[in-house]
Structure 1
């Protein structure tokens, strides 16, 4: 694989990490269950797919995997394996309470025109390395910062409060994100850098999209407090996502920041 192709592939993955429901590929974590009565092990699939919760495109990279136990401590995944179309891992849960399992993607990507050929080049990297990828004589340079979080929640025994992160986009529930029931209404808050994310479009989509002619998305918008409510139409696994752009960058030369969020939630009968 040439360096140019590697760059293009990396850029495509960066865009996929920021994808909303309207785009072709979705990033998701799918736990074997979200509620356990006692200490146990949860198995998690991680993929980038065309259909929700069906691994039919590519495995998700787990470089940014973060597993947070109920007491706030960081855990490591067990039995991690990369398959052709999905990545799998286990989480050994010994503490009672709610676990946060997330893949966090941060960094930057750039595009420019090669001075000699006039062709567009692209690269992805960290805030520290992205500048080294851009030639000194590059033309029409555009740099963007990205922050993406893909996560799910699992509870052992009684749910416990989730500590706010305060960076990027995050979901806050008035109750537990693992205590969702068909026919009941749940109110969530979306925060952006620790503050209410006002006027943001949110999409909630039930899984098994490969069996439907229409996605059947639930379209919502956050209010002035960053809140929105969902009345769950049926039991099953759901994918919730939102994204936004602003100019609050911390990467040199970046004029735009793209922030995305996606969560897998289980609704009980």
Structure 2
């Protein structure tokens, strides 16, 4: 018997660390100067990192936070065949965070012996999944995809965690990464340090390498993870966990976090 309680938003729910497709946002620049800076950000889901060849990342859950912790309005938002895009006018000095958060409910079930899948809002599930469906399995998903841009001197006001799902606390500023150095981050789950979370880090340009050269890590007892950045370039950071803390009765929860960093030469 399906039991429906809280309504949740539709989920993208693609791409955790072990998935073939990866979800990402990519800014045209990550470190800028001046008092009237602009950046364009692309957002997509792809097999090859930072290549537009699969589907766009929808911007329904887009939020941008400025250096003072206040919301910043994105401009010129658009979604095409393979990517979404938007501009940010960086008027204030400091660090900005752009994040797309998607929450949703996913169901797998059988009708007449055939396997089916559905995703959407819980309040529409009773209408869209037949009442005689068998082997119904529910997963609540919360996925956060983000990236970071700094104008002038970096600060951290934009990085306050929401306390919901998987997030990073930045012990090393994400716009202060240099080749040959390591960065220290702390994984949070619902605002608390999250130990034992699997992490994958991949340098961009993998379509031009024989191997993707991903680095697999795991958060420590205090949730910290130390990421080595051997070379300059763009990097994708992915983490995922599953547990039984879903708000919808009978569901499991899947929390996914993805971020793009730029590592600069020494």
Question: TM-score, normalized by length of structure 2?
Answer: 0.90
| 1:86 CA displacement | 1.1
Within 1, Cα distance between the matches of 2:218 and 2:38?
35
Contact 1:108 1:130 in 2 (8 A): no
1:238 corresponds in structure 2 to 235
Within 1, Cα distance between the matches of 2:257 and 2:130?
32
The yes-or-no answer on 1:89 pairing with 2:80 is: no
Match of 1:112 among 106, 109, 114: 109
2:62 corresponds in structure 1 to 65
Match of 1:202 among 184, 199, 204: 199
Counting only pairs closer than 5 Å after superposition, residues 1-269 of structure 1 correspond to structure 2 as: 14-16=12-14, 19-39=15-35, 40-114=37-111, 117-161=112-156, 162-254=159-251, 256-269=252-265
Cα distance change on mapping 1:196 and 1:136 into 2, 3 Å: same
Contact 1:27 1:49 in 2 (8 A): yes
Contact 2:239 2:257 in 1 (8 A): yes
1:32-54 deviation line (CA, Å, top 9, x unaligned): 01111123111001111110011
Aligned length: 253
Farther-moved stretch of structure 1 (134-143 vs 207-216): 134-143
| 1:251 CA displacement | 1.8
Please, which runs of 5 or more residues in structure 2 have no aligned partner?
1-9
| 1:15 CA displacement | 4.3
The RMSD of aligned alpha carbons is 1.6
Within 2, Cα distance between the matches of 1:96 and 1:132?
49
Within 1, Cα distance between the matches of 2:59 and 2:206?
25
Contact 1:239 1:265 in 2 (8 A): yes
Within 2, Cα distance between the matches of 1:14 and 1:118?
26
Contact 1:14 1:109 in 2 (8 A): no
Within 1, Cα distance between the matches of 2:123 and 2:141?
13
1:190-232 deviation line (CA, Å, top 9, x unaligned): 0000111101111111000110000111111110110011221
Structure 1 consecutive aligned stretches of length 4 or more whose deviation exceeds 3 Å? 127-132
Contact 2:166 2:190 in 1 (8 A): yes
1:166-194 deviation line (CA, Å, top 9, x unaligned): 11000111131111011112111000001
Within 2, Cα distance between the matches of 1:190 and 1:250?
21
Please, which runs of 5 or more residues in structure 1 have no aligned partner?
1-10
Give the secondary structure class of the aligned counterpart of 1:146.
strand
Cα distance change on mapping 1:130 and 1:98 into 2, 3 Å: farther
Contact 2:200 2:238 in 1 (8 A): yes
1:90-134 deviation line (CA, Å, top 9, x unaligned): 0111121111101111011112222xx332222111344334433
Cα distance change on mapping 1:68 and 1:130 into 2, 3 Å: farther
Question: TM-score, normalized by length of structure 1?
Answer: 0.89
